[in-house]
Amino acid sequence: MIFKEITIYTSRLESQKEFYCQKLGLRLTAENTSSFSVATGTSILNFCYRKFATAYHIAINIPSNKDMEAWDWLKSKVDLLQDEGNSLVNFPKWNATSLYFYDPDLNIIELICRKNLNSNSNKLFNERDFLHISEIGMPVQNIEPVYNMLNSQLDLEIFDGDSERFCAIGEETGLFIVINKKFKKWFPTNDTAYSSDFEAIVETANNEKNIVSFKSGFLDIYKPNLV
């Protein structure tokens, strides 16, 4: 599965646009008085204004061999979040390394090198090495029915975890990070996990597109209107 587009909400539209376009250097693809969009590699990240908005967790894949270069590039732009004093976090089970930082809404943004994808680059790292969005967090009260819906309608399997606290559903190119918010908070900051509304356009292995809508803590999946 891959994320074609993800739409999230912000109460700081101008601050977010300045952060993603000026500080990180991502390409602005659309804007109006209530929204803007940036290219994150082959994915589009849409920000829509909402008077009250809560934080998200989003991960972006970067080349498999660029963790140290990304660390050097990123630390000049943002304060890196740490896990036990480490700002470059190693995940041996996933064969991956990650960097975390906040955006102006205190969304936890992750740049992740997934070694299994062999998406190596021989160019010096910059914002053009944001390959695509690969994760969005989905905090819920009960993981099992969410997995059952994603599995039955999109044929997605569990990548890691279970139905108790944490369940990554999908594959390394696209994962829903489903957590039980009664028991778990966001890594690495231990921030409260909010059931923040989002909408994702996803493409599954059979090249079919679906819209995954998460609103008020409830999941819905439907086909896009092609008219």
Residue 225 near residue 155, CB atoms below 8 Å: no
The structure tokens listed for 5 are 């587009």
Instruction: Summarize pLDDT for 39-77 with one digit per residue, the tens.
Output: 999 999 999 999 999 999 999 999 999 999 999 999 999
Query: In this predicted structure, what is the pLDDT of residue 144?
Result: 98
* pLDDT (average), residues 159-174: 97
Q: Report the distance separating Cα 91 and Cα 96, nearest Å.
A: 5
User: How would residue 225 be classed by pLDDT, with cut points 50, 70 and 90?
Assistant: confident
User: How would residue 162 be classed by pLDDT, with cut points 50, 70 and 90?
Assistant: very high
Length of the chain: 227
Q: Report the distance separating Cα 222 and Cα 213, nearest Å.
A: 8
Sketch out the chain's domains with CATH numbers: 2-222 (3.10.180.10)
> What percentage of residues in the chain have a pLDDT greater than 90?
97
Query: In this predicted structure, what is the pLDDT of residue 205?
Result: 85
Residue 1 near residue 8, CB atoms below 8 Å: no
Residue 157 neighbours by CB under 8 Å, 6+ apart: 151, 169, 170, 171
* pLDDT (average), residues 199-219: 95
